[in-house]
Structures are given as C-alpha cells and as structure tokens.
Amino acid sequence: MTSALEAAKARLRGTAKAARKAAAAADRAAGATAAAALRDRFLAAFAPEAGTVVSGYWPMGDEMDPRPLLAALADAGCVLALPALRGPGQALDFRAWAPGDPLVPAAFGTSEPAADKALLQPGVLLVPLLAFDRAGYRLGYGGGFYDRSLAFLRSRGDTLAVGLAYAAQEVAEVPRDRNDQRLDGLVTEQAVTRL
C-alpha cells in the first residue's frame, strides 16, 4: 500500500469514527431502533436458507449491533459463527456460536468464541465497518483481516459478504487498492444496496 493511500485511509478513519459515534448516539437518543430496522431490511433482502452458515460479529463500541439479526437468523435455522483472530497478517477463523454462548476476550478489544468451538466456513459473512461507498467498498480498522478472509473464502467458493452500518457511515468514495475486497451488499437502518 502506498503512503498516499495509507494517509487517505487514516484521514477517513478519523472522520468515519466521528460519524459513526454520532449516528450511534442519535440512535440511542431515538430509542435504539436502528438494529431492529437493519434486521428487518436484511431479512427482506437476503434471507439465507435454513442450514446456511452465517458469520456475524460481536459489536465493539459504536458499531452497528448485529445481535438482533443474529438471533433472527438462529430462529430461522441458520448455523451461526463469529470471527476469531489467528494473528497479525492472517485471515480470520470462523468459530461456531449460538446466542447465549459465552465469549472470551481477544486482541484489539474483541470478543470471540472459545478455541474449542468448531471451525466453520460461512456462506454469508456479515461485515462491520467504519465507512462504505456505493461501489461496495468498506473502510475497516486497518488490519486487513476481513479483506484477507474474504479473498480466502471466495477462493474456496461462493460467499455473500454484506456490510452492516448506519446510513451516516456512507462516504462518496473509500480509498482502495487491489487488496481491498468489494462487498456484495450493504444494509443500513434506512436502505439495502445489492452489488
């Protein structure tokens, strides 16, 4: 990655974190309805079949909360997983998880299923983000974990990658290079975008 691209991403991360924080605060002030609205929009647009392995994420800070969606997917018979960090520069593992299962603290302030949980290959990957654009590109925290994971999963078959966010996280264009993986869809509390 060039230093100019790194600098552009770093600048956008600062403004994107502020936009997400403001959106989360506004949602809490309005009764915290965004996650339920996102759940309903996702299910209307993408509704995976029973038995599909869906990997979500455990929300950190002001990230869009996928837990209402994950609970609905579990009720619909989907098999759930959450990401687990292997180490710097590596793709993520996806470990079996169900609502109510305990999580263990992990690197970067994340929580993940215990190491003894089964490894699964998701057919649907729910992706957190800081910012997104209409072309389907996302800005993450800079570790490259989801980009490496998507490249790996796609090399092994079809994986539907859907970004989850507040509408306020949309930007005109996410700086990117050839390593950045494009999402297949985006869902916010206000809209669904299929790509």
Q: Which domains does the chain have, with CATH numbers?
A: 3-194 (3.40.50.10420)
Q: Which residue has the tokens 């837990």?
A: 67
Which of the 8 DSSP states describes residue 166? -
What is the predicted pLDDT for the residue at 160?
Answer: 97
Residue 72: phi and psi, rounded to 5, are -65, -40
Q: Which residues of the chain have pLDDT under 50?
A: none
Give the pairing type, strands 53-55 and 124-127.
parallel
Consecutive H or E run containing 27 = helix 3-29
Per-residue pLDDT, 1: 57
For residues 40, 54, 161, 11, the Cα torsion angle rounded to the nearest 10 degrees is 80
User: pLDDT for 87-123, tens place per residue?
Assistant: 888 999 999 999 999 999 988 888 999 999 999 999 9
Please, how many CA atoms are within 13 Å of residue 171, restricted to the half-sphere of its CB? Answer: 22
Q: Residue 89 has what pLDDT?
A: 86
And the tokens for 95? 């470990």
